[in-house]
């Protein structure tokens, strides 16, 4: 095969340099993040394992409900601007578990975010009562009911259960149990200050199209503003028109001119209607901090969960542990890279330096691409990804060894160095492509069939293998071709890595001279 034109190796090197510079500029552009996003195991965070339960007791949990729950939870977490949160399902049906892994956020905040069902409804207030249950005839406290107290009608039994409800009990005001919007509801305010008797809902949470946290002009507490669809706006206008004509709540009149905003069985706000509300907007008022208001708005925006969730295990990884694991991974990778470099230098001499430069180029390209992907799609590097990068070092080094050994084989066959660099590459690239294809195929299968950290390993392995192919074709081979044309490499020095002992005892001068020159010399002798 003819030696490629002299301009070809330089052209390939220029192409790779342009790609490397382009990604580097993109990665290091001022005013943007210039680092790789780190996963839960490297920067610390929280992992929550949740066990699903049906909203209606005795009902079965379907795979569709699990899938919907995962999507809502993922939207909630992403709505907080959290990068690379993992929400996965293990098992199916009643035996399933949902695992939420979130880097960087406070444990309590994450548990509240993912545990809350967020069943929202708007109910007319029938009456308000004292939060403390009355004493029994013998002077002892009445047996407390457990919320929510519900019934199909405002019956005597319903009123008795409501009277026994103790709103001063924190477990009662904690909520978490979704109510049936079609029934009457007896419940407490979140603060425990008031007890309510509420009529069936006139607006459901499904009618909410958007929710935002706001600090009203001149206000001191945050509110959550809600927007409704056409059905919800019409229902709000009708209800507000009717309720605004009723007497004040607390006067003893039933019903009264207020409506309650109920979230997971507990009243979060109970504003009064002084006039009809036209426009399809409402506000949830309460003693919200900025974070609480934003979290509530984020939860309501994406709708209620079709099932309830109980956290059975909460694991917190501190940033210190994450940093230690990252440091250990980098040290392991550095040691592996150093050992590979020492071996290549010892065995291949000048060609070993080429291999080392190729590894440096591949490492720089991997880092730049990772930063760019972190910026654009939120890619996060995990400990498994670090392991994938370490494995890729071996794959890349193997590519160099295959190529260099093919060059030696060609020289043993009597070809000159320039010819060997070209024909050896033709033979080596088939082996290189076959090996890298198998690696990429394995990475793709792992990525598609696995979840969690295994997907991170597969992605990094596949990406670094593709970069290995790019560097081998556009850097290693062109550099070797350029070196093969140099007088030093053709001199047969032991520092070239082509000395006689490595070539089966053939004289270097004869090996590099090619078969025709050797025949002429033998004939003359």
Give the model's pLDDT for residue 5: 41
Report the C-alpha gap between 297 and 293 in whole angstroms.
6
Give the model's pLDDT for residue 91: 76
Residue-wise pLDDT for 83-96, tens only, equals 556 788 877 777 78
- 32, exposed or middle or buried, with CB in 10 Å at 0-12, 13-18, 19+? exposed
Average pLDDT over residues 231-245: 88
Residue 128 has pLDDT above 50, yes or no: yes
Decide which of 354 and 3 is more confident.
354
Q: Which of 154-163, 281-290, 317-326 has the highest mean pLDDT?
A: 154-163
Give the model's pLDDT for residue 145: 63
Give the model's pLDDT for residue 503: 59
Residue 504 has pLDDT above 70, yes or no: no
Helices 350-377 and 7-27, interaxial angle, to 10°? 40
Note whether 345 and 356 are within 8 A (CB): yes
- Mean pLDDT for the chain overall: 79
Average pLDDT over residues 430-454: 84
Residue 412 has pLDDT above 70, yes or no: yes
What percent of the chain is predicted at pLDDT more than 70?
84
Residue 2 has pLDDT above 50, yes or no: no
All structural domains of the chain, each given as residue ranges with its CATH number in brackets, are: 7-38+318-524 (1.20.1640.10), 40-114 (3.30.70.3220), 117-289 (3.30.1360.200)
Phi-psi map region of 186: left, alpha, beta (phi>0 left; psi -120 to 50 alpha): beta
Report the C-alpha gap between 297 and 102 in whole angstroms.
19
| Least trusted range by pLDDT, from 107-116, 165-174, 292-301, 365-374 | 107-116
Residue 502 has pLDDT above 70, yes or no: no
Query: Confidence band (pLDDT; 50, 70, 90) for 451?
Result: low
Give the model's pLDDT for residue 6: 46
Nearest to 420 by CA among 433, 429, 407, 431: 407
- Sign of the torsion angle spanned by Cα atoms 432, 366, 363, 321: negative
Average pLDDT over residues 30-36: 73
Decide which of 99 and 320 is more confident.
99
For residues 358-385, one letter each, b for 16 or more C-beta atoms within 10 angstroms of the residue's C-beta and e for the rest, the string is bbebbbebbbbbbbbbbbeeebbbbbbb
Residue-wise pLDDT for 373-411, tens only, equals 888 877 777 778 888 888 877 788 888 888 888 888 887
Residue-wise pLDDT for 49-64, tens only, equals 888 887 776 678 888 8
Report the C-alpha gap between 504 and 405 in whole angstroms.
13
Report the C-alpha gap between 424 and 402 in whole angstroms.
9
| Least trusted range by pLDDT, from 107-121, 175-189, 457-471 | 107-121
Residue 156 has pLDDT above 70, yes or no: yes
Query: Confidence band (pLDDT; 50, 70, 90) for 201?
Result: very high
- Could you give the strand order of the β-sheet that contains 86-90, starting from the edge strand earlier in sequence? 86-90, 97-103, 45-54, 307-317
Residue 498 has pLDDT above 70, yes or no: no
Residue-wise pLDDT for 202-219, tens only, equals 988 888 888 888 888 777
Query: Confidence band (pLDDT; 50, 70, 90) for 123?
Result: very high
What percent of the chain is predicted at pLDDT more than 90?
5
Return all residues near 177 (Cβ < 8 A) that are at least 6 apart: 147, 148, 264, 265, 308
Give the model's pLDDT for residue 391: 81
| Least trusted range by pLDDT, from 110-114, 229-233, 428-432 | 110-114
Give the model's pLDDT for residue 136: 60
Give the model's pLDDT for residue 125: 92
């Amino acid at each position: 095969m003819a030696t490629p034109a002299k301009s070809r190796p330089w052209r390939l090197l220029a192409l790779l340099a342009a790609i490397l510079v382009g990604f580097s500029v993109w990665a290091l552009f001022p005013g943007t993040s210039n680092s790789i996003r780190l996963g839960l195991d490297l920067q610390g965070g929280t992992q929550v394992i949740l066990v699903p339960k049906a909203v209606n007791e005795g009902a079965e949990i379907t795979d569709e409900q699990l899938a919907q729950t995962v999507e809502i939870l993922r939207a909630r977490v992403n709505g907080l601007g959290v990068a690379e949160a993992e929400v996965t399902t293990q098992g199916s049906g009643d035996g399933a578990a949902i695992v939420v892994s979130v880097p960087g956020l406070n444990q309590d905040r994450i548990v509240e975010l993912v545990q809350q069902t967020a069943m929202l409804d708007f109910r007319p207030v029938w009456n308000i009562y004292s939060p403390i249950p009355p004493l029994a005839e013998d002077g002892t406290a009445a047996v407390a009911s457990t919320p929510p107290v519900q019934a199909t009608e405002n019956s005597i039994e319903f009123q008795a259960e409501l009277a026994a409800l103790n709103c001063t009990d924190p477990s009662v005001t904690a909520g978490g149990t979704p109510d049936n919007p079609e029934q009457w509801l007896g419940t407490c305010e979140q603060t425990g200050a008031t007890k309510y008797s509420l009529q069936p809902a006139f607006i459901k949470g499904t009618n909410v199209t958007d929710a935002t946290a706001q600090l009203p002009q001149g206000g001191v507490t945050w509110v959550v503003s809600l927007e409704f669809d056409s059905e919800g706006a019409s229902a709000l206008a009708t209800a507000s028109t009717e309720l605004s004509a009723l007497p004040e709540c607390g006067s003893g009149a039933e019903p009264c001119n207020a409506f309650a905003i109920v979230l997971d069985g507990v009243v979060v706000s109970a504003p009064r209607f002084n006039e009809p509300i036209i426009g399809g907007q409402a506000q949830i008022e309460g003693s919200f901090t900025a974070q609480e208001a934003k979290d509530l708005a984020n939860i309501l925006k994406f709708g209620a969960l079709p099932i309830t969730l109980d956290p059975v295990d909460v694991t917190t990884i501190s940033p210190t542990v994450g940093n230690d694991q990252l440091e250990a991974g980098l040290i392991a990778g550095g040691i592996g890279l150093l050992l590979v470099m020492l071996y290549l230098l010892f065995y291949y001499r000048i060609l070993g330096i080429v291999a080392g430069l190729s590894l440096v180029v591949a490492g720089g390209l991997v880092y730049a691409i990772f930063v760019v992907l972190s910026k654009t799609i939120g890619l996060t590097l995990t400990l498994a990804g670090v392991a994938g990068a370490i494995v890729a070092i071996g794959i890349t080094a193997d590519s160099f060894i295959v190529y260099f050994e093919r060059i030696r084989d060609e020289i043993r066959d009597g070809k000159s160095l320039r010819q060997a660099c070209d024909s050896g590459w033709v033979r080596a690239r088939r082996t290189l492509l076959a090996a890298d294809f198998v690696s990429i195929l394995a990475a793709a299968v792992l990525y598609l069939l696995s979840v969690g950290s295994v997907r991170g390993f597969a992605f990094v392995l596949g990406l670094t293998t593709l970069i290995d192919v790019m560097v081998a074709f556009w850097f290693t081979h062109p550099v070797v071709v350029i070196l093969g044309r140099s007088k030093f490499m053709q001199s047969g020095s032991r520092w070239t890595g082509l000395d006689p002992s490595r070539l089966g005892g053939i004289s270097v001068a004869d090996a590099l001279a090619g078969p025709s020159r050797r025949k002429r010399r033998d004939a003359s002798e």
